[in-house]
Structure 1
Amino acid sequence: MELSCKSEYAILALLELAAHYSSGEPLQIRQIAAQQNIPDRYLEQLLATIRRAGLVRSQRGAKGGYLLAREPWKITLLEVVNCLEGLEAKAAKENSTLKSLSSNLIEEIWHEARQAAEDVLQRYTLQDLAEKRESLQRLDIMYYI
C-alpha cells in the first residue's frame, strides 16, 4: 500500500491549515503552495475536492482563502484519504463471483492489510500531525544551536 501524491499533497495542505487554525485567519492557495512546495493549480483542484467533502471551507474576498471546516483534532487522516482515493468505495467493489481457494486466501489477507492501514489512518488526526511536526521542528532547531 502506498500513499498517492494526491493524498500526500492534500495532507500537507491540511496540515498547514491545521497549524494556522487557532488564528482563525484563512490561508490563500499561494501561501499554502509556497509553504509546502505544491503546484498552485494542482492544490486548487485538491482543495476544491476537499471542500466538497466538507473538510475545508472557503472564504471569499480580499482576505479570503481556505480554513478547516472542523477542528483539526476531529479530522482523521482516513477521512482525507477516503475523500480523495475512495478506500471505502474500493473495498465495497470486491468481486463476489466464485473464486479459487487461493484467490480467496489472497483476498482475505489483502482485506486484512487494508483494514490495518485504515485503522492506523483512523487513529491519527491533523492535530496529531501538527503536534509531531512542531515537536520535530523544535528538535531540529535545538540540534543546530
Structure 2
Amino acid sequence: MELSCKTEYTLLALLELTGHYNQGEPLQIRQIAAQQNIPDRYLEQLLATLRRGNLVRSQRGAKGGYILAREPWRITLLDIMNCLDGSTATTSGSQTNAITEASAIVQETWQEVRDRTNDILRDYTLQDLWEKLNNRQQLNIMYYI
C-alpha cells in the first residue's frame, strides 16, 4: 500500500489547520497552499470533500476560510480516509464467483489486513501527528544549536 498524493495533501492541509486550531481563526486556502506547497485548485477540491465529510467548516467573508470542525484529538486517520475514499479506508478484495479453499484463505487474510489497517488508522488522530511534527521540529532546532 502506498500513500496517494490526494491523501498526503489532505493530511498536510489538516495538519496546517491543526496548528492553528487553538487560535480559532480560519485559514484561507492560499495560506494553507503556500505553507504546505499544495496547488490551490486541488486544495480547494480536497477541502470541499472534507467539508462534506464534516471534518472541516468553512466561513465566508474577508476573514473567512477553513477551520477544523471538531477537536484534532477527535479526528482519526480512519475518519479522514473514510471521508476521502468512501465508507471503508481500504479497498475490498476481489469478488470471485467460484469460492475455492484457496480463494477463501486469500479473502480471509485480506480481510484481516483491512481490519488491522483500520485499527491502526483508528488509533492515530490529527493531534498525534501534530505532536510528532512538533517533536521532530524541536529535535531539529536543538541539533543545529
**TM-score normalised by length of structure 2:** 0.93
Q: Structure 2 CA distance, aligned partners of 1:120 and 1:39?
A: 29
Q: Structure 2 CA distance, aligned partners of 1:86 and 1:93?
A: 16
CA positional deviation for 1:89: 7.7
Higher mean alpha-carbon deviation, 94-103 vs 19-28, is at 94-103
CA positional deviation for 1:85: 1.5
Counterpart of 1:38 in structure 2 is 38
Counterpart of 1:9 in structure 2 is 9
Q: Structure 1 CA distance, aligned partners of 2:110 and 2:3?
A: 16
Q: Structure 1 CA distance, aligned partners of 2:142 and 2:90?
A: 44
Counterpart of 1:101 in structure 2 is 101
Q: Structure 1 CA distance, aligned partners of 2:141 and 2:8?
A: 25
Q: Structure 2 CA distance, aligned partners of 1:114 and 1:14?
A: 24
Q: Contact (CA 8 Å) 1:76, 1:124: kept in 2 or not?
A: yes
Q: Contact (CA 8 Å) 1:77, 1:121: kept in 2 or not?
A: yes
Q: Which letter does structure 1 place at the counterpart of 2:114?
A: R
Q: Which letter does structure 1 place at the counterpart of 2:144?
A: Y
Q: 1:5 to 1:89 in 2, by over 3 A?
A: closer
Counterpart of 1:75 in structure 2 is 75
Q: Considering fraction of residues, name the structure with more helix.
A: 1
Q: Contact (CA 8 Å) 1:73, 1:125: kept in 2 or not?
A: yes
Q: 1:91 to 1:38 in 2, by over 3 A?
A: closer
Q: Which letter does structure 2 place at the counterpart of 1:66?
A: Y
Q: Structure 1 CA distance, aligned partners of 2:113 and 2:16?
A: 30
Counterpart of 1:122 in structure 2 is 122
CA positional deviation for 1:3: 2.1
The answer to which structure, 1 or 2, has the higher relative contact order (CA under 8 A, 6+ apart) is 1
Q: Contact (CA 8 Å) 2:29, 2:40: kept in 1 or not?
A: yes
Count of residues in Structure 1 that have an aligned counterpart in Structure 2 = 145
Q: Contact (CA 8 Å) 2:78, 2:89: kept in 1 or not?
A: no
After the TM superposition, which segments of 4 or more aligned residues of structure 1 sit over 6 Å from their partners? none
CA positional deviation for 1:70: 0.2
Counterpart of 1:55 in structure 2 is 55
CA positional deviation for 1:98: 3.7
- Helix, strand or coil: the match of 1:58? strand
- Alpha-carbon RMSD across the aligned residues, in angstroms, is 1.8
Structure 2: any 5+ residue segments left out of the alignment?
none
Q: Contact (CA 8 Å) 2:27, 2:67: kept in 1 or not?
A: yes
